[in-house]
Amino acid sequence: MLNRKMLKLTILAFSLFIFSCARHNIKKISDYEFDNAVITQDTVLSGSITIKGSLIVKKSANLTILPGTIIRFKKFLKDADDISDSDIYVEGSIHAVGTEDNPILFTSAEKKPTMNDWKYLMVNFGRKSELKHCIVEYAFSGVQIHFTEAKITKSVFRNNRDGVRFSTAKITVKDNNIYDNVNGIRYEERKAPALITQNNITNNKIGIFCVIKSDDASTITNNNIFNNTDYNVKLGLDQSSDITLKNNYWGSVDEKEIKNKLFDKDFDDTLGQIIYSPYLKRQIKTYKPKQPHTQLQ
């Protein structure tokens, strides 16, 4: 009996030791500038962070960004495409969870910021990741998620070429305000289910762009998708099968007006159909951040 108790105490002590070692291996960085850097251990960022070139988070690492942190990307051109090559590339996981009063800002470091001033925050073949209460602006492609499970909620995406972009990802995009981008959401489903709900997707050039390889496995419902200048939803040139977007608000109850803002088989008979009915007849109440236009810089 005594030996059994001693064994339990030994196991407990060893577990606490391992946990303590793990905690001590977490690197905390505040008010710092990265220049083409690699993160190989669990790291916490806070304060004012500047990035020039790529910040790569390796498989072995989790990157945590604390509420109120400002991430500024310097414009850094490797070639002549005028798209900055400063970015965060995550192979491990990222948890950027702000609060309503202290969101996390991903923005340009330029005095006169414009679209394409930085490349993207990309998670590719990574572990489960989350962004919440973030503001993402002036990127080529704000957040990209590929071959990863992720959740993006209560955030703002503005003044990017693509606000949110994903492919082959089990992703939830919920309670976000996505506006003033070229493409609000751009995706390639490739049989991986996505949930897109309770978002305001307005005043983009294209609200939702389904590029290719969608087998209608995603659920896109209960969103406000209207006032996007070209199309509220557009199918890419090789999207020959139908996609379903039921129970969304399209800014009108006139079916002709709704269909005029959907680029599908009615415009190009090689494409699939966008199944938009039944549709909501009034705008739904969605999450509104306290300071969506505040310049936190």
Indicate whether 72 belongs to any domain.
yes
* Banded pLDDT at 82 (limits 50, 70, 90): confident
Indicate whether 2 belongs to any domain.
no
Length of the chain: 297
Model confidence at 296: pLDDT above 80: no
pLDDT of residue 268: 95
pLDDT of residue 20: 44
Report strand pairing: 104-108 vs 162-167: unpaired
Residue, of 288 and 126, whose pLDDT is higher? 126
Render pLDDT for 198-226 as a digit per residue (tens, 0 to 9).
999 999 999 999 998 889 999 999 999 99
Indicate whether 137 belongs to any domain.
yes
Cα distance between residue 105 and residue 119, in whole Å: 15
State the pTM of this model.
Answer: 0.90
Of the candidates 155, 208, 213, 152, the residue with the CA atom closest to the CA atom of residue 183:
208
Indicate whether 285 belongs to any domain.
no
Q: Compute CA distances 57 → 89, 116, 121, 122, 174, whole Å.
A: 6, 22, 11, 10, 25
Indicate whether 53 belongs to any domain.
yes
Render pLDDT for 178-200 as a digit per residue (tens, 0 to 9).
999 999 999 999 888 899 999 99
Domain membership of residue 261 as a residue range: 25-275
Indicate whether 265 belongs to any domain.
yes
Does residue 278 have a cis peptide bond before it, meaning omega lies within 30 degrees of 0?
Answer: yes
What total of structural domains would you count in the chain? 1
3-state secondary structure 87-108: EEEECCEEEEECCCCCCEEEEE
Indicate whether 211 belongs to any domain.
yes
Indicate whether 260 belongs to any domain.
yes
